[in-house]
Structure 1
């Protein structure tokens, strides 16, 4: 079971890399758009996060408040990313773009700093 947990955590981190990397590339190119890498990355993060929560909760040592906040932030990010991608928008509003980047940073901060 430890191997499965490690593989899921690895996939979860790859999902974060896709979301943050896609956002960073968009920012550095000056286009302010969202791409399918970000959409697939947040989908991977949601899926693996839910399974990881189930594994940790089954072991009995889950921080339900932290994981609930992380799920809520990831769900909000998914909506913020999915709608422009599905509507095939070439560019999103600057406020939407920067709010998404900030929410990506906050979500990573919750994961790292909330013990």
Structure 2
């Protein structure tokens, strides 16, 4: 079971890398749009996050508040990324772009610093 947990966590981190990497590429190229790497990355994060949350809930000392906050943040990110990609928008508003980047950073912060 430990191997499954480690593989899921690894895939979850790869999903984060795709989301953050796609956002950083858009920022550095000054395009301020979202790409399919971000869409697939957030999909991987949602899928693996749900399974990881289920595995964590089986443990007696599970932090349900953290799991809930992470789920809400991931759903917000998924909507913020998926809608412009599905509508094939090449650019998004600057506020939308920067809010997405901030939400990516906050989500990573919750994962790392909330014990």
Q: Which runs of 5+ in 2 are unaligned?
A: none
Aligned length: 115
Q: Which residue of structure 2 lines up, in the alignment, with residue 102 of structure 1?
A: 102
1:111 aligned onto 2:111: yes
1:7 aligned onto 2:2: no
- State the 1:61 CA deviation: 2.3
Compute the TM-score of the two structures, normalised by the length of structure 1. Answer: 0.99
Moved over 2 A (4+): none
Q: Which runs of 5+ in 1 are unaligned?
A: none
Q: CA RMSD in A?
A: 0.5
Q: Which residue of structure 1 lines up, in the alignment, with residue 22 of structure 2?
A: 22
Q: Which residue of structure 2 lines up, in the alignment, with residue 92 of structure 1?
A: 92
Q: Which residue of structure 1 lines up, in the alignment, with residue 57 of structure 2?
A: 57
The CA deviation string for residues 18-66 of structure 1, in whole angstroms up to 9 with x for no partner, is 0000000000000000000000000000000010011111122210001
Compute the TM-score of the two structures, normalised by the length of structure 2. Answer: 0.99
